[in-house]
Structures are given as C-alpha cells and as structure tokens.
Amino acid sequence: MTRPAPGPGPSTRPGRAGRAGRAGRAGRAGRAGRAGRAGQSIPPPGTVVAADGEREVVMRGYTQDKQALGKRLRRIEGQIRGLQRMVEEDTYCIDVLTQISAATRALEAVALTLLEGHLRHCVQEAITAGGPDADDKITEAAAAVRRLVRS
C-alpha cells in the first residue's frame, strides 16, 4: 500500500473540510491583494495604515521575547526528535508517554507566554484605541483560550 505524497491536499479529519493546505495564518495573509473601501488594498495583518496613507509595521506581543521563544521552541523540537528516536528504539511505553507529557507541557508554556503577550500588547492596544477592533480582539483572544483549554 502506498502513502499519499505529503503536502496540501483534502483533509480527512472531521470538521476540517475546506481548511486543507492552510498553514497557520496563511489563509488570512491573502487579504493584502484584495480591494478594500474606495479601491484601496487591505494591508496584511500587523500593518497599520496612518491617515496620510503611510504604512507602518507593528510589533507583535512576543517580538521582544522572540529569541527566548525561539530557543524554547528549538528545545521542544529536540524533545520531539528524542521521542522519535525512543519509538524507533522500542523504548518502554511509559517512558515514551512521560516524555510526550513533558513536551506537551513545554508547548503549553510557550502558548501561555504567547497568549499573555497578545493580551498585554495587542488586546490592550485595541481596547485603548476603542471601536469595533477592540471587540474583535477580545473575541479572538477568547477563542484562542477556548482552543488552549480544549487541547
């Protein structure tokens, strides 16, 4: 039996129809080429357009911690490689499960760091500015918390 080639293709997971091939926020990045009001293009996420039409790139909530986050994610990547090696070497099941639990906790810690940065930076900024963007940011953060709690 042959395996399908890796890459984008239709998803077989329930509830995932129409989302295959989208990595992260790639589906949203396509907005940059669309026309907005009065024929203006909509800027990509993370870009603020000033009243004079100048574009300015905005820092993300985690920008100042980017190096530390990268280091933590590389460490987690090493844990995952270690897990692969453990399975290849037929390591005792409970030992593999213990390492999976450790890697999961490490990813959750990174997720919570990102969430806190998002709340302190992006959401707080939107609330200070007011308007409908504030409600959107709160709704978006609540949905992220729901996803984290479910996993």
pLDDT digits (tens, 9 = 90+) for 85-99: 999 999 999 999 999
Domains of the chain listed by start with CATH number? 36-150 (1.20.58.1000)
pLDDT digits (tens, 9 = 90+) for 4-17: 444 444 444 444 44
Q: Is 56 helix (H, G, I), strand (E, B) or coil?
A: strand
More confident residue, 84 or 24: 84
Is the pLDDT confidence value at 50 over 90?
no
Please state whether the predicted TM-score (pTM) of the whole model is above 0.95.
no
Q: Contact, 73 vs 65, CB < 8 A?
A: no
